[in-house]
A and B are shown apart, each in its own frame.
Chain A
Amino acid sequence: MSKKILTVDDDPDIIVFVKTVLEENGYEPLIARNGESGLIMARAEKPSLILLDVLMPKQSGIRMYRELKSDPELKDIPVIILSGIAKRTFLRSQEALTEFGDEPVPDPSAYIEKPVDPGELAETIARFVK
């Protein structure tokens, strides 16, 4: 059975693109359009890996990442951040949340800045999904 990979993004272009890349590489894509439904789907499906956008309506990727990493059942799922914002901006916002009293969270497994190259995406996923 092919491994499930969850993509959380609100951009229809990215959804179609990532879905195609995943299918091409033999994974089963799961799609969520915001952080809220992404979290529900992660709990329900227990995917092997999560691809997460940062700037999204409803619940942002920053908040969803925290929730993932603080949930004992989900925290071991590797997360690759796939975003238009720079890596250091994301890391800094995580630090800020930690300073405001939240539990510290580990850095994401990988960080890919958009635009994403199909080959690079596939290779990065392969590194974390055995």
Chain B
Amino acid sequence: MMENRLLLIDDEEAILRVLSISLRHEGYVVFTALNGKEALQVFEKENPGIVLTDLKMPGMDGLQVLRRIKEINPDTEVIVITGHGDMDSAIDALRFGASDFINKPVRDEALRIALDRAREKRELRRQLQAYTTDLEQMCRLATEEVRRKSEFQDKLITSSNDGIVATDERGLIILFNPGAEKIFGYSRREIVEKVGFEQIYPEDVAGEFRSGFRRKRDKRGWGWKEVSIRGKGGEIVPVRFSGTLLYEGEKVIGSVGFFQDLREIKRLQRELVQSERLAAIGQTVARLAHYIKNILTGLQGGMYVVNIGLDKDDMDKLKAGWTMVQRNIGRVSDLVMDLLTYSKEREPEYRECYPNQIAEDVCELMEVKAAQNQIEMVRDFDPSIGRVSMDPGAVHRCLLNLVSNAIDACLFDLSENKSWKVSVRTGREGENAVSFQVTDNGAGMTADVKKKLFSAFFSTKGGKGTGLGLLVTHKLVQENGGRIEVESEPGKGSTFTLHFPYRREDGGGSGTEPLAAKEH
């Protein structure tokens, strides 16, 4: 609202009356006073925004009134009315803060201009004041907001479970949250502003930060990786770490590192592994017990038959029972040997031998069982394989296991009218290895069976297998620096391939050094 309250002061009553009529007509609320003293009383009571005063008055003159009013309310616009040509007084008035002067006789036009100007000035001042107040208010709100945000971030950092460590541009640690205290074991008072990152970061991480600080901006940060930090008192703490350098434009202004405590996770992992191991041991023991029980059944049956033979003096029964006992003692012996082979570290025993001869021996051993079950044995030996130095015992054992499995695979094949076949093939593999391949067209294996092939005591042969054969084979092959490959399809059959490295006889050397050392 434009200021429209006005105090008019003149010692001449006629002028007062004429001017106030004219000003009221213009829309002002006009208060009048005939002298300085009265004027001040009215002013204090009404506090008008604009004062129009004559300078020359008896008693308190216009200048004095002006100074008093300016003391009371400096914002008041005071317009002085001077006598014609009284420039000195006008200048004095302006010096004491009058906003304008008009000459007597007061012309309406000059008065209106002076008043309009005064009113504009007041309005401007009012607006300025409003802006200033607004600005102050906004400034206060913004400050409050900044403070709240900063407090919020402080709380975020403080309540983070992750350890957060920040440094300034020199690498001095300036932030060390409670999460970091928990992981590192130091209190923030021991660290902040006292210690550089190099003293608490793991060496490789510290190195990366160090070179990051030196280089120009080329790297933003480091993804999560597992490292170990050395906490207070030397405790090695496994953590996941990620960090980044902080830039302002191109300039490094600091760094921040995030640390996740992995102690609990590692502990749970260890517990899990432990319980899995216990479960595996339990399963292993159960399977082993089952197999031994089978043997025991055979032995008990044998004893029963032997007893009958003794009672009846029946030599045939005695022989049959004794054969059962012998066969089952053989099974115990095989089982124990397999267990020993599996559990003991064994150095390959290299000797000169003919791989084709080993394959032939195995075929001969298994031929009777194959023939009994109408399974054809096919030999396909590479005649160019001569005498080599390898571990014949291990090769024999592995091959025997595979051929015996191949025959079982044919026996357990439920297809009808199939002519079953087990092929044993030998071949040269480059300059220093022989392959032995056993193929059958028997039952084949499902993916599930294939997956468990080399696990301890896994058997598809009911009570008739130990579940150790392939495990032992695998171990022997590995000890000899070789490898084993399996291909199989249910209903079509399986192929097992052994690759055994050897030392060539003409290559010289003692033949006793480990094969791995001989590789080019």
Residues of A within 8 A of B (CB): 10-14, 16-17, 20-21, 24, 55, 57-60, 63, 84-85, 114-116, 118
Tell me whether A13 and B327 are in contact (CB under 8 A): yes
What are 14 A-B pairs with beta-carbon distances under 8 A? A13-B298, A13-B302, A13-B327, A14-B301, A16-B301, A17-B302, A17-B304, A17-B324, A20-B304, A20-B308, A21-B304, A57-B412, A114-B294, A115-B301
Q: Contact check, B328 vs A16: say whether CB atoms are below 8 A apart.
A: no
Kindly report which residue of chain A lies nearest to residue B407, judged by CB atoms: A57
Collect the chain B residues with CB atoms within 8 Å of residue A14's CB.
Answer: 301
- Give CA–CA (A116, B317) in the complex, Å: 19
Chain B contacts to A: CB under 8 angstroms? 293-294, 296-298, 300-302, 304-305, 308, 317, 320-321, 323-324, 327-328, 373, 410-414, 462-464
Residues in B with CB closer than 8 Å to A63 are 414
- What is the bound-complex CA distance between A24 and B309, given in angstroms? 11
Give A13 to B302 CA distance when docked, in angstroms.
8
Q: Within 8 Å CB of B308, what residues of A?
A: 20, 24
- Find out whether the CB atom of B304 lies under 8 angstroms from the CB atom of A55: no
5 A-B pairs with the lowest CB-CB distances in the bound complex, closest first: A57-B411, A115-B297, A17-B301, A13-B298, A55-B462
The distance in angstroms between the C-alpha atoms of A60 and B304, with both chains bound, is 28
Residue pair A84, B324 in contact (C-beta under 8 Å): no
Complex contacts, A16 vs chain B, CB 8 Å = 301-302, 305, 320-321, 323-324
Q: Which residue of A has the minimal Cβ distance to B328?
A: A13
- Contacts A12-B327, A13-B297, A13-B327 supplied; 8 other A-B pairs, CB < 8 Å: A16-B301, A16-B305, A16-B324, A17-B305, A21-B304, A58-B411, A85-B462, A115-B300
Chain A residue at smallest Cβ distance from B299: A13
- Residue of B with least CB distance to A16: B320
Report how far A10 CA is from B462 CA in the complex, Å: 12
Known contacts A57-B412, A59-B414, A85-B462; decide if A20 and B320 are in contact (CB<8 Å): yes
Contact of A118 among B304, B321, B414, B462 (CB under 8 A): B304
Q: How far is the CB of B283 from chain A (nearest CB, A)?
A: 17
Chain B residue contacts of A116, Cβ below 8 A: 297
Residue in A11, A20, A57, A115 whose CB lies within 8 Å of B305: A20
Chain B residue with the shortest CB-CB distance to A118: B304
A10 / chain B contacts, CB cutoff of 8 Å: 411
Residue numbers in B under 8 Å from A21 (CB-CB): 304
Given A16-B324, A20-B304, residue A114 in contact with residue B297 (CB < 8 A):
yes
Q: Is the beta-carbon distance between A13 and B301 smaller than 8 angstroms? A: yes
Query: Which one of A59, A84, A115 lies within 8 Å of B462 (CB-CB)?
Result: A84
Q: How far is the CB of B298 from chain A (nearest CB, A)?
A: 4
Q: When the two chains form the complex, which single residue of B317, B323, B328, B463 contacts A84, counting CB atoms closer than 8 Å?
A: B463
B317 partner residues in chain A, CB cutoff 8 A = 20
Which residue of chain B lies nearest to A53 when distances are taken between CB atoms in the complex? B462
CA distance A11 to B295 in the complex (A): 12
Provide the residues of chain A in CB contact with B462, threshold 8 Å: 55, 84-85
Query: Can you name the residue of chain B whose Cβ is closest to the Cβ of A21?
Result: B304
A11 and B464 within 8 A (CB): yes
Least CB distance from A19 to B in Å reads 8
Least Cβ distance of A126 to chain B in Å? 18
